[in-house]
Amino acid sequence: MKQRKRVVFISAILAVVLGACGGGGGGSSSDSGGTVTTVGKIDGFGSVYVNGVKFDTSNTLYSVDDEAGQDDSSLAVGMKVRIEGRVNADGKTGTADSIYYDDDLEGPIDSGSLVVGDGVTTFTILGMGVSADVNATVFDDGASYDGLAEGQELEVSGFFDGTQIVASRIELQNDSDDDYEIKGTVASYDGSQISLTLQNGVVAGPYLISSSAELEIPSDPVGLYVEIKLDNSSGTPEVVHIESDDDDLIDDDDGEVSLRGILAGDQSSGFSVNGVSFEVSPMTRYEPASLEGNLSAGMEVEVEGVMQDGVLIAKEIEAEDGEVEITARVISVQSSDAKNGTITLDLGNSQSLTVETDNSTQFEDSSDFDHDDDGSFNLNELTDSDYVELELGRSGDQYYVISIEREDDDDSTEIEAPLEDYTVNDSVTLLGAIFTVHDGTRYELHDSSTDMETFFSNLEIGRQVEMEDQNSDGAIDEIEMK
């Protein structure tokens, strides 16, 4: 396992390093054409969307589960990948030279480990802890949140939060697949058996090593971070392959880095994301600004910066705890053509939000105003009385539209976004707008009803909040923290 060095830098050095980074939010910018390393989960296709950037994959080299010669069809939403390439100055588009994917864990849910919670279920696989979220985890290939069961064999991709893998994607293993995979630091090895210390501190093994096993490790691998593959066809897992691995998908000699994951650590001991330590400085930017001084373990964030002596020097830290979605009335539209322009939305109480659209935006029409019945529309058809539902990405301070759907007339505003700020028992700030509570506001914490005092006492900057303003007057009728 890599040794994480904690280094103190003087402000002058930081100013030079961070000033060289360039770019804005939504993905590290590479105006000079240099390589950017991006680690995050796949959010969509039509090229590949990772960390808010649409990467062109026309000439990409792929490595998927140690197999080369793949293409986008071998990838799926929720997979945690490493991309090497370039990000354009707009912070929204780029080019992927290579994409690497390898799941984090394969095997059966351990007996007695399944704990079903309120929207979050935890379990272990071969001793490694996993957390699955009914809303945030992508389930595929026969896997489902409600179908999780002890003994079920799964493939898991996700982010290590310091104690467990927070699953971004879970697939059900094929019934004919007897292979398991687990990663960790070699605790003991004698050529015939091997034990690993997993990232959560659990010692897995010892596992017998097959006489025909493929060993891509030195003669004394103790202390080395490895991946071992196990064959369970006989009913007893036996090691058939061992290779050195990377515990965080980031190399110490990587230059510009965009890293999305789960915060671990605290203000006193220092923070890390996916095992990568990072340093902040007075020049570090925060999105939202209220995130400064309010970082806490468990948040999902994107950290952009440069690697320096094994530590990521943070240029920008952005809350990434879920997607940004909004349903609101259109105030005005400015367009240069059918797809490119801006839409200003009414957030109530004289507040508004302006978002950008471009040729990559997906337009869908489910309203009665779709007179040509083609299921789509363009900016020239949008009026200042239409209601729309949007999925948003962010580049710096500007939100851009990933998808937009026109809906029939409504009177409500709905927002799902990371919490930017709040005033206890009074208001919350989302997307730069302040929404106030009132005597009739209904509160929920993690799908359970609660009262105002309990709700506000549990709020955390950067956590995902869902709010409904039924009269679009800036007053909250229903609010929930995920």
pLDDT of 396 reads: 61
Instruction: Please report, rounded to a whole number, the percentage of residues in the chain having pLDDT higher than 70.
Output: 89
Q: How confident is the model at residue 372 (pLDDT cuts 50, 70, 90)?
A: low
* CB-count exposure of residue 467 (10 Å: 0-12, 13-18, 19+): buried
| Percent of residues, the chain, with pLDDT higher than 90 | 48
CA 231, chain centre distance (Å): 31
Nearest to 82 by CA among 226, 258, 256, 228: 258
Most confident of 40-54, 315-329, 337-351, 368-382: 337-351
Position 408 pLDDT exceeds 80: no
As a whole number of angstroms, the distance between CA 394 and CA 398 comes to 6
Do the two domains 179-244 and 415-481 of this chain adopt the same fold?
yes
Q: Is the pLDDT of residue 289 over 90?
A: no
Q: What would the two tokens of residue 350 be? A: 């004289």
Of 399, 417, 462, 409, the residue nearest 326 (C-alpha): 417
Residue 350 DSSP symbol: T
pTM over 0.85: no
pLDDT at 218 over 90: yes
- pLDDT for the residue 370: 63
Q: Decide if pLDDT at 7 tops 50.
A: no
pLDDT band at 322 (very low <50, low <70, confident <90, very high): low
The per-residue pLDDT for 395 is 66
Bridge-based pairing state of the strands 256-266 and 270-273: antiparallel
Secondary-structure class of domain 324-410 per CATH: mainly beta
For residue 122, is pLDDT > 90?
yes
Burial class of 247 by CB neighbour count within 10 A (0 to 12, 13 to 18, 19+): middle
Give residue 32's pLDDT. Answer: 42
Q: What is the pLDDT of residue 411?
A: 76
| 231-284 pLDDT per residue, tens | 998 889 999 999 998 777 877 666 788 988 888 888 788 888 888 889 888 899
Q: Assign 17 a pLDDT band (cuts: 50, 70, 90).
A: very low
Under the banding of pLDDT at 50, 70 and 90, the label for residue 162 is confident
For the chain, the domains span 11-100+255-319, 105-172, 179-244, 324-410, 415-481
Q: Decide if 260 contacts 305 (C-beta within 8 A).
A: no
Residue 321: band (very low, low, confident or very high) from pLDDT cuts 50, 70, 90: low
pLDDT at 426: 95
Q: pLDDT at position 255, please?
A: 78
pLDDT attached to residue 2? 35
Query: What do you get for the CA distance between the two ends of the chain, in Å?
Result: 34
In tens, the pLDDT along 389-407 reads 998 877 666 788 888 998 8
CATH of domain 415-481: 2.40.50
> Does the structure show a pLDDT above 90 at 456?
yes
CATH 2.40.50.320 fits 179-244, yes or no: yes
Find the Cα–Cα–Cα–Cα dihedral 78, 123, 274, 319, rounded to 10°: 60
Q: What would the pLDDT profile of 73-87 be if each residue is shown by its tens digit?
A: 899 999 999 999 998
Q: How confident is the model at residue 479 (pLDDT cuts 50, 70, 90)?
A: very high
CB atoms closer than 10 angstroms to residue 427: 17
CATH 2.40.50.140 is the classification of domain 105-172: yes
